[in-house]
Each structure stands twice: as structure tokens, then as C-alpha cells.
Structure 1
Amino acid sequence: MKNKEYHSKAPIYEALEAYRKARVVPFDVPGHKQGRGNAMLREFLGEQCLSVDVNSMKPLDNLCHPVSVIKEAEELAADAFGAKHAFFMINGTSSAVQAMVMSVCKKGEKIIMPRNVHRSAINALIISGAIPVYINPGTNKKLGIPLGMSIDDVKRAIKENPDAKAVLVNNPTYYGICSNLKEITKIAHENGMYVLVDEAHGTHFYFGENMPVSAVEAGADMAAISMHKTGGSLTQSSFLLLNCDLNVGYVRQIINLTQTTSASYLLMSSLDLARRDLVLHGNEIFHKVVDIAEYARSEINKIDGYYAFSKELIDGDAVYDFDVTKLSIFTRDIGLAGIEVYDLLRDEYGIQIEFGDIANILAIISVGDRSLAIERLISSLSEIKRLHSRDKAGMFDHEYINPEVILTPQEAFYSEKLSMPMNESQGKICAEFVMCYPPGIPILAPGEKITQEILDYISYAKEKGCFLTGTADPKIENINIVINSVNS
């Protein structure tokens, strides 16, 4: 049990309140000067918000080199998560994932990871020059979604690459699927490898009851935590947890390579207050979230044609556990791609869910949700089925395609490139990303061979209305390929 009196403090928030009450005259940045210089912005965000949108100074500490209130807030966060150290991240969890990889892998060193990683992990390889050893995840044949990391696949990858420096694990996946993190950590550590966990969607594992195992509890070395996703902080604010003997100062230097020197105190104070709230009230918060999600899942499964999946997927390996707070719903049996249901919910019913893909949708459930809103989601899904369902013949039946990796991401990304029409690129080596966003998992990454199956998938995703990103061409009609693959 955490010491709740200790965690009732919020050092950054308290320092900002003291600053605001002191009525300091600002002759520093930001130039809006507590909102006085931008009336429209002040009216939109509020005077109180803008009065604490400030720059680093002695009373407020400095995120690049914390010595006072930020240092104390980091110590509180580390204690809250049970880690050895916690870094405040205000460039999003993407920068936390990149810092993890770059802290343990240098140019030419190998890292074992699932291929269905977020683009931030592959971006880390482009920046650092580390070499990926991809584990292709299994796929649930009915749902078409990638699963977690199989223990046998991890063992095989380690045996074939004993010189790898680390194993990176997504836990949980966007869909709520968890790998056997304790066993993966044990095997990796026995072979002298670090374990890094992209735990963007797992903040609640640390504070709720009967949740899947957290990265820290499993003994992993580092974890990237998206506090803004399920922890209640502002968008773009996250934690990087350090749970091993890596030098804290060195990891901070790695973070400072890419993180801004103008850290937002709005983001940092939101992390400070969210940590406080989760330690003091997290148990009851996530008990409510689970109840809401389980109720919604039960009601949606009564509508013929939808499948809100859960713990019944558990197989003890590639689906070792399931995060029941995730309301993931299979839609293909009503003849609609997930992205089509996503668009209908937003455009026709005024409901914004997290994402839709080829066959599924995901609704994020949090303590902020209310019964009336949940009932509206359920009834809207029922009506969409009644009004828009059709024959599912000809629909794409899987979300993940095993890539053929020819070059490392860094080699391909920085190679001489040629832009060519997407539909003429079969057999060439991709020099950029193509992905649906969200979730931001690449369909194609730099260094991978462009196959007809991948091109068909991209065409289908476009047709169904997925928001494609990653290419230099904003219309996603042309793709950059490695120039020496033109005649391949």
C-alpha cells in the first residue's frame, strides 16, 4: 500500500500556485504574458490556465536537469509505480519509447521486438541505427488482429540472436491483448538482455484491482506509460519508468536529445495531479471503469452481428491475459469495416470513439464516462446494424501482414529515394512509412519489400475510409522507394 499522506502532495502544482499568487511581473517567455497579449486565447483557455503557462525558473525547477520541485515530483511518481525512477515526458509516449530504445541500443546493435509496434519504436531505430529482429505476431483468424508475443517465438529469436541487447514488448496491445510479460522478462534476463515495455495503454495496471501484470511488477527494466490515455493527465504527457541499474543521468541525457527544453508546466502539473489522484483514488476509479466496460460489452454482445471480445480469447501464451477495460468490438459480421462504423458513429450519431480498423472498433472507457453516454453508444451501434448492415462477402479478413525485411529502417530511410506511383511499386523496397492512424502501427516500414498483398490492403483501407499517414505524398498516391531497388 502506498503512503497516501505522502502522495497527497503535488510539488509542481503547488509551486505553480505559489508563483501565481505571488503576482510576478513577467519579462520572460512565453510572450502572451499570462494571457494579456492574446485576448482570444485567454477567452478560449481561461486566465487561470494561461497564468501558469510559464517558462523554467528557479522556483519552478527545470525538466532538463531537475533539482527541486520536479525532482520531488519524479520521486513521488517512481514510488507510485514502484519503479526506481520516473521521468516526466512532455513529448508524448513516442519520445519515451524512443528514449528506452536509445538508452540500451547503439548503432548496429540488435533489439528483438514484435513487428506490430507503434511507429515510435521504428523511429527510434531510424534515429539510433539499431537493428530490429522482428517477431511476427500470431493472428486471431476470426478477428484478424495481431496477438501478443509467443514464448516459443521469443526463445527462438533470442537463440538465433544471442548478441541482441534488448527485447521490446507491447503490453497491452491497442486491442487489450497481453503477453506473458513475467516469463519473457525472465528469459531475456537469463540471456543478459534488457526488457523494454511499451505500456502506453496500461497505466491502470498499476492502480486497479485484478488487472494484468504491470511491467514493473513483471521485473521489466523500462516502461513507457501514457498517463494521458487512461491516467487522466493532459494529452502528450507521459512517464518513462526506469526499473534497473541504468544510470539515471545517462538516461536523462538520452531523453534530452529529443525532448524540448521549453517544457510545458501545464503538462507537467497534469502528470503531478494525475499521479496524486491515481494513488489516492485509483482503486475505485478503475473499479468503476471495469464495471462500465463489462456492462457495455455484455449489452453489445446481445446485438446479433457484433462481438465485443474479452478474456475468452486467453490461451495462456500469445493471449496470456486480456485488459477488460478495453471495449474492442468486431464488426465484420455485419458487413461493415470497423472504420465504417467509426465514421458512422461520428458523422451520424455524434459519438467519437478511439479508432476503427479493417474489422474492429475500439471505444476507450474511463472514469469520465457516464451511464447515459454508454447507453447512447450501445443504441447507436444497434441502429447502425439495423440500417447499414450488408453482406460481408469480399471483405478483408486480417489486420496484420507479415513483412519481408530487406534493409534496416535507418538504411532505407536515409537511402537515395525515388517517388513512384503506389500501384507500380510492387517488389520495390519501401523507404518510408505507410500506416493507418490511429493506431499508428505501420502497414509498411522503411526497409520492407512492397508486396501485392500489402498494396491490396492499402487500397482497401483507403476505400473504407482509413486515415492513412506516413508518406511524403499527402495524398498517399505515391511512395518513396529505395532507388537501388528500382530494377529489382
Structure 2
Amino acid sequence: MFANQNKTPLFDALKEYYKKQVIPFDVPGHKHGKGLKEFAEFVGDKVLEIDVNSMKCLDNISNPIGVIKEAEDLAAEAYWADHAFFIVNGTTAAVQGMIMSVCEPGDKIILPRNAHKSAINGLILSGAEPVYIQPEINYELGIAMGVSLEEVEKAIVRNSDAKAIFIINPTYYGATSDIKEIVKLAHQYGIAVIVDEAHGAHFSFHEELPPEAIELGADMCAVSLHKTGGSLTQSSLLLLKEGLIDPKKVKTVLNLTQTTSASYLLMSSIDVARKMLAVHGDKILTKVLKLSRYAREEINKIDGLYAFGKELIGSPGVFDFDETKLSINVSGLGLTGFEVYDILRDEYNIQMELGDVFNILAIISVGDTKESIDSLIESLKDISKKYKKQKITFNKGPILKNPEVIISPRDAFYSRKKVVKLEEAEGEISGESIMAYPPGIPIVTPGERISKEIIDYIKFLKNQHSLLQGTEDPYVENIKVLGV
């Protein structure tokens, strides 16, 4: 990478502040941990001594001109972008910032329906009108993949006045779309390409990983550095290539929703994680890939399990594949992914990223070791011996199809609503989102017609004790629909 990537200007400034032992008469009120002793005793005094507020020597995220700006510029350089913005409200804020930077009320945006709830909420905030494209579906695995270039082209030709196209790179399960050709096509129509790269923060730093979207010409990317890059939870980056999108507008939009009291713990972790990836990423990610490949090889020897990977490249919706997503189809065990997820957590003390009807997912990242991988492999071997029964099959394909959009998410959000029993909501227009989290992809969103398949699927997820959210009713017995 570049010589100056060894620098950590924000982290260095924070350490210098710590050395000075400043007497604080500003916020936060715990005053270097003295007012929160029980917590300080658990996490360590130093953590709270560097939990500070904006000041001249530490710059300000709302208008960075000092060490935050230096750190952001280094991040931009590391990711081959023209600008980088530190995000401390999670990648949700970055995704919403992207949409609000390119779309005004009534503008069209093309996006796959398997987008994260943050994108749907971005439609509500911006007033943009969604044009959904159907992601490719692997019915054997029971998951949505990326989008095909053909589907993207159809959507663009029919909606050439769209302001942006929103792409996921990669999907939760590791599939990527043909970003380079999508960018080429969209730019012919003057359409910006914005990318949810929440699970691709590591892509830029190893040649055996899929390319990062900014390198392929995308205009803006939201990158969850905390997910796969090693920074603290809730810390992310928004990357921008100049051209179709004004960086000054992006800054203004981010300041609408992002906190003015940004955590220096979060921001300095971005600074250090960026340095680690830029300087040592090739070595670190070589190890990560070695662990991922070893895990796949061993898991695929276990009766009833299929850890899918790069062999899917070339199938519909899989232009490339991120091997660090250890996706395991468990239907051959005669169990659902929800069940295996719970068994691993409750009986083996192993926390997976998610479980769905057919699969479980482990994220292999910069912090994993062979010991942790071996624990997972041995636990899965034991589960196969103890629990395997007849292969399970579900006909849940229809739920992966795009629901019918009746009105925009924003109009539905602000419309008058009534509460009905979930079982009685067939044919109604939803006034709320419902999703299993993780992964946080809505089953139904405001403005969409509620079908029998949707109701049946939600009831199935409830029976599987999946973590559902989005409705005002915490138990999802009722749902708000449009009407009085």
C-alpha cells in the first residue's frame, strides 16, 4: 500500500491527550471514569479516560479539519476513494446517507428487494420511489444471491430517469454481482451506483478476494469496517468517488442524522483498523482465507452438511464469492438452520452470525484462530452424530419473490393506520416492516401488499423462535396496515 498508511493521526492525538491527564469540566459526565466506577473496574480505567468529547486537539466529526480529516484522507487512500467519511452510527447511517445524497422525494432508485432494512428506511427518509429488481434465487440452498446484469439492464431501460442503483456487495452469504459491468451500464444513463458493502470491508486488501466496488467504478460505498475489518462495533466508513455525487452534499446529509458527539473510541478504532489492513492486510487475510478453506474442507466431510463456496461462481447471481463467509447448508441433517444455530449456542457455547431455514453462517475474519475454527468443526461433527435424521425440505421459495408495491415506503409510513391480527392481514397494505434479525432483510415493508405466503412465512419464523422485529407489537401477533 502507501508509505503513509503507517500513520494513525487520530489515534496518536487521543494517546497524547491521555498522557496530559487533562482535568475535565466538559462532557461526558463520568469524567474519565471517576463517576462510573463499577463499569470502569470491569472494562479498565484507560477505556473511560479516552472516552472524551470533541475539542480542538481532537477535531470534530461534523466539520473535520484536523486529525479526523487526516485519518479520513488516509482511509480514502487505502480504499482507492476520493473521500472517506467516518461513521459512528453504524453502516445504517452510511446507507441512509448514500440514498439521501442522491435522491430527493419522488426520485426513482433501483435496488434489489433483499436489501437491508437500513436501505428501506433510507427510502422513507429520502422520499425516493423504489424500483425493485428480483435477485437471483438458489432454491436448493434457499437463499437470494446477487442480481444479474440482465435484470439490471431491464430495470434501467424501463426507468432511465432513475437517480441511482443500489447494489449489495457481497450478500450476507458471500455472493457478489458483476459490479464493473453494472457501473458501466448505469453511467451510460447518468445513473449513480451506490453500494452496500457492509460485509466487504476487507476486499481491497487481498487479491484473492472479490474486488471492492469503488475500485470497479462505483460512486459511493458504505463499508462496515467493524464487521470484517477489526474496528469496534458501530464504526464504519462511507467512501466516495467524485463525479456524479457532490462531496459537500454528502457531508451535509450525514450531519442531518449522525451524532455531533462522536465516540473517539469508535473513530480511533477505525484509524487503527485501517492502518492494520493497509499495512498488513495481505498477510492477515492470507491467514483468514487459509482458515476459511480449511473449515470448508473439513465441514464438507461431515454427513448432512454442505459448506458452499467458490464452486457457485457462474451460477445465477454469483459473479464472484467471498470465501470468508462460511455459509453452511444444514438441511441434510434434518434440522433447520434456526435449530442448529440454537444448538451451537446453547450446547457448545458457539455463537454463529445467523441461522435461516436451511443454513447457518459463520463470519471468518481478522480475529479468528485455528483453535476457534476447530471448535466449530468438532461441534458440527458431534451435532451430526447426535441429531441427524431424514433430510428436511421446505417449499418456501415464494417468500423470496418481490412483494407487490402499492405505494412508496415514505407515503405508507406517514399514512393513517389501523392494527389487525397478523392472520387477518392478507390483502392489506403494510404500514410496518417485519424482518428476522440477523440478517435484517425485511419480509414486508411499508407500502407492500401482505400476501398469504408472507403471513405463513412469518408464522413459520415465529415457530422457529427467530428474532423478529420491526412491528410495534414486540411479539408480532398484530401488524399495522393502512386504513382507519
How many Å apart are 1:247 and its aligned residue?
2.5
In the other structure, the counterpart of 1:474 is 474
In the other structure, the counterpart of 1:112 is 110
Task: Measure, in 2, the Cα distance between the counterparts of 1:42 and 1:304.
Answer: 47
* Within-5 A mapping of 1:80-479: 80-245=78-243, 246-315=245-314, 318-393=317-392, 395-398=394-397, 400-479=400-479
Contact 1:204–1:230, Cα closer than 8 Å, also in 2: yes
Query: Residues 394 and 374 of structure 1: is their aligned pair in 2 closer, same or farther, counting only changes over 3 Å?
Result: closer
Q: What is the aligned-residue identity percentage?
A: 55
How many Å apart are 1:394 and its aligned residue?
5.6
Query: Residues 137 and 374 of structure 1: is their aligned pair in 2 closer, same or farther, counting only changes over 3 Å?
Result: same
Query: Residues 393 and 277 of structure 1: is their aligned pair in 2 closer, same or farther, counting only changes over 3 Å?
Result: closer
Task: Measure, in 1, the Cα distance between the counterparts of 2:391 and 2:417.
Answer: 39
C-alpha RMSD of the superposition: 1.1
How many Å apart are 1:371 and its aligned residue?
1.4
Contact 1:179–1:317, Cα closer than 8 Å, also in 2: no
Contact 1:359–1:397, Cα closer than 8 Å, also in 2: no
Cα shift readout 1:363-397 (whole Å, capped 9, x = no counterpart): 01113212122111111112112212233456354
Cα shift readout 1:226-261 (whole Å, capped 9, x = no counterpart): 000000000000000001233322211100100001
Q: Quick one: which of 70, 73, 80 aligns to 1:72?
A: 70
Cα shift readout 1:36-59 (whole Å, capped 9, x = no counterpart): 111101112211111110000011
Task: Measure, in 2, the Cα distance between the counterparts of 1:190 and 1:177.
Answer: 25
How many Å apart are 1:262 and its aligned residue?
0.5
In the other structure, the counterpart of 1:21 is 19
Question: Any idea what SS the aligned residue of 1:270 has?
Answer: helix
Task: Measure, in 1, the Cα distance between the counterparts of 2:393 and 2:317.
Answer: 28
How many Å apart are 1:88 and its aligned residue?
0.2
Task: Measure, in 2, the Cα distance between the counterparts of 1:449 and 1:268.
Answer: 41
The amino acid that maps onto 1:314 is I
**TM-score, normalising length: structure 2:** 0.98
In the other structure, the counterpart of 2:49 is 51
In the other structure, the counterpart of 1:40 is 38
Contact 2:195–2:218, Cα closer than 8 Å, also in 1: yes
Contact 1:358–1:396, Cα closer than 8 Å, also in 2: no
Task: Measure, in 2, the Cα distance between the counterparts of 1:94 and 1:304.
Answer: 39
How many Å apart are 1:75 and its aligned residue?
0.7
Contact 2:94–2:238, Cα closer than 8 Å, also in 1: yes
The amino acid that maps onto 2:423 is N
The amino acid that maps onto 2:212 is S
The amino acid that maps onto 2:160 is P
Task: Measure, in 1, the Cα distance between the counterparts of 2:77 and 2:163.
Answer: 27
Task: Measure, in 2, the Cα distance between the counterparts of 1:457 and 1:244.
Answer: 43
Unaligned residue ranges in structure 2 (runs of 5+): none
Cα shift readout 1:53-84 (whole Å, capped 9, x = no counterpart): 00000111000000110111111111010100
Question: Any idea what SS the aligned residue of 1:197 has?
Answer: strand
Task: Measure, in 2, the Cα distance between the counterparts of 1:69 and 1:249.
Answer: 19
Unaligned residue ranges in structure 1 (runs of 5+): none
